[in-house]
Amino acid sequence: MGEFKVHRVRFFNYVPSGIRCVAYNNQSNRLAVSRTDGTVEIYNLSANYFQEKFFPGHESRATEALCWAAGQRLFSAGLNGEIIEYDLQALNVKYAMDAFGGPIWSMTASPSGSQLLVGCEDGSVKLFQITPDKIQFERNFDRQKSRILSLSWHPSGTHIAAGSIDYISVFDVKSGSTIHKMIVDRQYMGVSKRKCIVWGVAFLSDGTVISVDSAGKVQFWDSATGTLVKSHLIANADVQSIAVADQEDSFVVGTAEGTIFHFQLLPVTSNSNEKQWVRTKPFQHHTHDVRTVAHSPTALISGGTDTHLVIRPLMEKVEVKNYDAALRKITFPHRRLISCSKKRQLLLFQFTHHLELWRLGSTVATGTVEAMCLLAVSPDGSWLAASGTSAGVRVYNVKQLKLHCTVPAYNFPVTALAIAPDTNNLVIAHSDQQVFEYSIPDKQYTEWSRTVQKQGFHHLWLQRDTPITHISFHPKRPMHILLHDAYMFCIIDKSLPLPSDKTLLYNPLPPMNESDVVRRRTAHAFKISKIYKPLLFLDLLDERTLVAVERPLDDIIAQLPPPIKKKKFGT
Amino acid sequence: MVEEESLRVVRCGGSELNFRRAVFSADSKYIFCVSGDFVKVYSTATEECVHILHGHRNLVTGIQLNPNNHLQLYSCSFDGTIKLWDYIDGILIKTFTVGCKLHALFTVSRPEDSVFVIINKEKPDIFQLVSVKLPKSSSQEIEAKELSIVLDYVNQSPKCIAFGNEGEYVAAVRDFYLSVYFFKKKTTSRFTLSSSRNKKHSKNNFTCVACHPKEDCIASGHMDGKIRLWRNFNDDKKYTYTCLHWHHDMVMDLAFSVTGTSLLSGGRESVLVEWRDAAEKNKEFLPRLGATIEHISVSPAGDLFCTSHSDNKIIVIHRNLEASAVIQGLVKDRSIFTGLMIDPRTKALVLNGKPGHLQFYSLQSDKQLYNLDIIQQEYINDYGLIQIELTKAAFGCFGNWLATVEQRQEKETELELQMKLWLFSKKTQGFILNTKINMPHEDHITALCFCNAEKSEQPTLVTASKDGHFKVWILTDDSDIYKKAVGWTCDFVGSYHKYQATNCCFSEDGSLLAVSFEEIVTIWDSETWELRCTFCQRAGKIRHLCFGRLTCSKYLLGATENGILCCWNLLSCALEWSAKLNVRVMEPDPNSENIAAVSQSSVGSDLFIFKPSEPRPLYIQKNISREEVQWGVFVPRDVPESFTSEAYQWLNRSQFYFLTKSQSLLTFSTKSPEEKLTPTSKQLLAEENLPTTPFYFILGKHRQQQDEKLNETSENELVQLPLTENIPAINELLHTPAHVLPPASFLCSMFVNSLLLSTETKSAEEIPEDIDMEEEKESDDSDEENDFSEKVQDTNDPDLGEDIIHQLSKAEEKELRKFRKVDYSWIAAL
């Protein structure tokens, strides 16, 4: 392998924005995530939780609500008072429409998906009809005194629950009038001075309304009579979000203390039909406010100010206890944010709203303001490989400016692409951790790639959390491929045998005193190092110099707002 | 009176009340707890022991109410039997013989004829939960051999098994898993927690389990202080649990309230926690319960809880979390440093109790009289903390003075030592701190003794220490212009060649003080504090030292570490005799010349009783205990026994109690002391030892004396009340336990009648004769009297009045009838 001079870069001052909304689409098993800077990301949960689409945000477009409607259409609304629809093919904003109600705090799609409801600052609830290419204002409901912070449809579509400040209103959709007004107890730790904000409501098909509020309560209301049925005090701080499963047998709430609580509808005794809602498990995966939660059939999804997207699978819903059943924590984007010019020793850092260019060895910073994103890799010579958001890589001949070939389609999205300098082999990494090598001149997979596919990757390799974000090559050693994800970098030596499931994948560098025979026996193609983490970028500058860009989590946390102070026992 | 049966070692009270969960009767009036080989029935209101159910021949390991008849109680024992009791009358109804050791008992209402027990059949640590079919039969002794295994490999402790939903399933926990057996489906589900693989879950072990009475919910306690509430456990996949976490240490026990709305938990924090609606934020506490909560139980009526504590105490707690009664046995939580002592006033056994306390324990009634806080500091319960230990205590001057020594040593060189002297105050009937001496010695105090001679005017205390000195402390006047006071000061410091002083002892008359310095015994004159003579046998360090008493007062006995017992003659200053005996405990009998020595060998401990005048022992009892005997004491008898056989004569006036290493308090008897202790004898005992309280003036002998005086002085006075103690109605009222008395309105007419009789018909002179007669009768028939009172309670017999009256003259009777017509119903309205 040899030794390298390493530029260990830690000055990439990248701080991901806090997560504001998540919306889960059951049909396509995709998750839309919006951040406080207006960025919207789309994750494909089937493809190993890969972030496949990305809409750069803008400060003026801070989203407060995000929802899927009419099948696969994605809408967002924000404090600028606009409802935005995104074009998921072209990856741009289709249109923005002002709702004329002041800042929009909440938005929800009707159970049929044909209508959109928004709750505004001025206390109005507005109903929009979704037409095939636009949305159209239909009417206003009874105007309330204060802003509408949360909305929920009854699954039949006949009623609406709206959470406001200090009360919850129930509307009849037909008449648009308020049926009930349920006053929420203001009491907060014995003091009742502060207003009680209803951060979330959920309307169940049996007429129960579940509300979560700033006093730390989860309350169950009977919408037919407008009475409180049961109250759970679960936190000393705000409960900010709620999401109910489609079967209505479980829901999840997130609190400002960073805890999410799971509630389940369980039979009181095994031989009776009576059921009750029981708080079951608390999960503490966040350090800051959990601003939003989602409930997929098999997992609880939560996100908040601490910028992590946490996907917690429900053990009882998972059929086989494989690696899919493990907790996922997504912190960094699944894209390469850094590019590097080898000849001039420059690093280009991509931020959400600007770029920074750094010269290695000196600290001169120059910046331009522009947003950009898409996957494309150009080789040294004449080939261009491009991968769209849908699977499949196309290779173009740059000189002739025409399509050379298409790499056979694969189910999982591409996470990284690179073309080797001399052999013009295209190396493709997919979100399911598979790596292919495709020979562009021969228009087929290389021999090595076929052997790898025949034997299969090591199971630990396939169980890694984060996708490969960058691939590069050693200028002097054509047999070596360098690739890395957020927690390791790996040099694949194609000349060595592949590891079988029985051998150690993460073998430490063999001790020097052992004989060459032993070393050769234990050596395999994958040389993995976990020295640098979280690793955002790693490349060879020349044959003896390596540049590694790290972003320690502690540095990010240090730049976040302080979390709620809690007394820890024993301190 | 006493037939010469063979003398045997018997357990005498002080047995663990906290061994198993206590059980409430259905009406919450009684609480049952196991106590050694017996089951004790206490009244929850008065804390008094109402009955002792004896019949088992080994440790009782479980008690449960009969679910089909709440006036009956099942108990099981290591002797392999299950017994059914009528606890109100204390009668054994049936005995079911199972045959093997029974470790715990459970009852359920549904299969009416079976109970569940834990047994271990094959290997010593593999326990099974089995159901035992109790055959229906009229005979008293029934064989119950029909066993069927429910769960294998369960935990031995009954806390780890619970029946839920009226016996539809049983939950058992062990190590890291919870198993639930469903009786209908006949299936077992098992839920395993991640064990010690990673550090976070290293203390995930289950410690106890409880089942919700109404819902399908199992609560389990864990080593790390968490409580998990399991639901949906009939589905192997969809089961779920909630965590409640407040305890920082192991959860010792859990109990649901009767309705299931709240869950009670307790542990080493000594705080009872009530979780309402199983919500983490909604909890109530009952703190400062004094010691680790070992068990929690809930009354079937739902109004009371009770907690059993590691200091052998049961606290009855009201539903609103207020402690209402404390049943305290002998505290056996910790090691005993002070040894066994007898308080000369109360005749109570005195020894280390709760941390920093001395306990006064009544051997007769098997309960703690009171606790004396010596260290007077908040006890912080935590591992690794070095506590202040109460190491020595001694009574002096007939119980007027108490000396205590406490020490704390964190490092070799940092010894904290304090001696306290306590004066008995007649006013408060308790000990009051008089003098506190910081660092009375430079090093550990090894011995402490008062001069208990009758003639001595000045209280004298001697302390011996490892620093090579012994110090004599005397009581001096400490008055100043503000108050009159006395205090203790050091009078003399003695030493001998810088040897460590190991023991000290005053002779019976107080004229001589013997102090041992390692191998050498020195005799000092207590008048002048001059060294009189020394004895040295070169047979090892002196471990015990004591003077002979009465006729043998010229002898001094010393036992050495090398297993030699020496007896020196103080007149000739020579060794009288010596014997090879590895003495662990040597105690003189205060009422005779006898000295008891307990020797330790590899096989067990042997007891020798001898007089110092002759080297031949009076009595030898081999193998009194398999373990090491740590302390012993002679307790003077209230009523002397009359053993005629020479070998047992040493037991006539005193009884020898000893404490083994595992802290079981044992004694020698031909029968067990609990057998002797019937409620009537207790009643008499109470009468004799009444303190001079206002109550005493109504009841006690004092009144009699006064009346005699009155008779002398005012003979011409017409109205003369009879002595209250001799009126049957009053006796009835005062001697019947409060909880079995008929209503006050009923008693009232009786009571008033009895008081009003004599005014017209009897002259003052006639009464004393009557009294004498009745007095005799009463003391003889007290047993009957007791039975009689029970009859009253059973039937509320309206003829009762006549029963009493027939002892009276006809004129009285006439008068009485007149009074009976008077309407007293207004009293009921009071």
A229, A236, A259, A269: best to mutate for the B interface, most B CBs within 10 A: A269
Confidence of residue B352 (pLDDT cuts 50, 70, 90): confident
Cis-peptide, bond into residue A534, ω within 30° of zero:
yes
Residue at B288: amino acid letter: R
> Which residues of chain A approach chain B closer than 8 Å at the C-beta?
216, 232-234, 262, 264, 266-270, 276, 278-282, 316, 569-570
| Residue contact A280–B279, C-beta within 8 A | no
Give the Cα separation of A343 and B223 in Å (integer). 62
Residue at B301: amino acid letter: A
CB of B245 within 8 A of CB of B225? yes
Does position B440 have pLDDT exceeding 60, yes or no? yes
Q: For residue B578, give the 3-state DSSP assignment.
A: strand
Confidence of residue B684 (pLDDT cuts 50, 70, 90): very low
| Residue contact A279–B282, C-beta within 8 A | no
| Partner residue facing B248 (CB), from A234, A316, A569 | A569
Tokens of A200: 């979330």
| Residue contact A278–B231, C-beta within 8 A | yes
Confidence of residue B717 (pLDDT cuts 50, 70, 90): very low
Residue of A nearest to B245 (CA): A569
Give the Cα separation of B293 and B312 in Å (integer). 10
H/E stretch holding B686 reads helix B679-688
Reported pTM = 0.76
| Residue contact A264–B240, C-beta within 8 A | yes
Give the Cα separation of A431 and A465 in Å (integer). 10
The average pLDDT across A91-109 equals 91
B192, B214, B216, B248: best to mutate for the A interface, most A CBs within 10 A: B216
Q: What is the pLDDT of residue B727?
A: 64
Instruction: Name residues 235-264 of chain B within 8 A of A (Cβ).
Output: 237-243, 248
Q: Which residues of chain A have a CB within 8 Å of the CB of B165?
A: 269-270
| Residue contact B281–A233, C-beta within 8 A | yes
Q: What is the pLDDT of residue A109?
A: 93
| Residue contact A266–B240, C-beta within 8 A | yes
B257-271, B571-585, B748-762: segment of lowest average pLDDT: B748-762
| Residue contact A281–B234, C-beta within 8 A | no
The average pLDDT across B47-60 equals 87
Does position A379 have pLDDT exceeding 70, yes or no? no
A93-97, A442-446, A544-548, B332-336: segment of lowest average pLDDT: B332-336
B162-192 residue pLDDT tens? 998 888 899 999 888 899 999 888 889 998 8
Give the residue, B615 or B4, on which the prediction is more confident. Answer: B615
B355-380 residue pLDDT tens? 888 889 888 877 888 888 888 887 77
% of chain B residues with pLDDT over 90:
21
**Chain-wide mean pLDDT for chain B?**
81
Does position A543 have pLDDT exceeding 50, yes or no? yes
Backbone angles phi, psi at A91, to 5 degrees: 55, 45
A480-490 residue pLDDT tens? 888 888 888 88
The average pLDDT across B271-288 equals 88
Does position A374 have pLDDT exceeding 60, yes or no? no
Give the Cα separation of B22 and B28 in Å (integer). 12
Q: How far is CA B600 from CA B151, B335, B338, B627, in A?
A: 44, 19, 20, 9
Does position A42 have pLDDT exceeding 50, yes or no? yes
Instruction: Name residues 138-197 of chain B within 8 A of A (Cβ).
Output: 165, 168
Does position B776 have pLDDT exceeding 50, yes or no? no
| Partner residue facing A282 (CB), from B231, B243, B248 | B243
Confidence of residue B766 (pLDDT cuts 50, 70, 90): very low
A148-159 residue pLDDT tens? 999 999 999 999
The average pLDDT across B542-553 equals 87
The average pLDDT across B272-284 equals 88
| Partner residue facing A280 (CB), from B237, B242, B280 | B242
Backbone angles phi, psi at B548, to 5 degrees: -75, 165
The average pLDDT across A26-40 equals 90
Confidence of residue B811 (pLDDT cuts 50, 70, 90): confident
Q: What is the pLDDT of residue B802?
A: 46
Q: What is the pLDDT of residue B54?
A: 84
Q: What is the pLDDT of residue B808?
A: 62
Give the residue, B427 or A194, on which the prediction is more confident. Answer: B427
Backbone angles phi, psi at A326, to 5 degrees: -90, 155
Residue of B nearest to A230 (CA): B277
B216-236 residue pLDDT tens? 899 999 998 999 999 888 888
Phi/psi region, residue B498 (left: phi>0; alpha: psi -120 to 50; beta: rest), is: left
Interface check for B216 against chain A (CB to CB < 8 A): the answer is yes
Neighbours of B226 (CB within 10 A): 18
The average pLDDT across B523-546 equals 86
A413-460 residue pLDDT tens? 888 888 887 777 888 888 888 888 888 888 888 888 898 888 888 888
The average pLDDT across B768-785 equals 44
| Residue contact A233–B279, C-beta within 8 A | yes
Q: What is the pLDDT of residue A320?
A: 63
Burial class (CB in 10 A: 0-12, 13-18, 19+), A496: middle
B133-164 residue pLDDT tens? 888 888 888 888 888 888 888 888 999 999 98
Instruction: Tell me the ipTM for this assembly.
Output: 0.81
Give the Cα separation of B265 and B280 in Å (integer). 13
The average pLDDT across B55-78 equals 90
Q: What is the pLDDT of residue A67?
A: 92
A442-446, B88-92, B559-563, B661-665: segment of lowest average pLDDT: B661-665
CA angle B139, B143, B149 (to 5 degrees): 140
Q: Which residues of chain B have a CB within 8 Å of the CB of A282?
A: 242-243
B280, B382, B383: best to mutate for the A interface, most A CBs within 10 A: B280
% of chain B residues with pLDDT over 70:
83
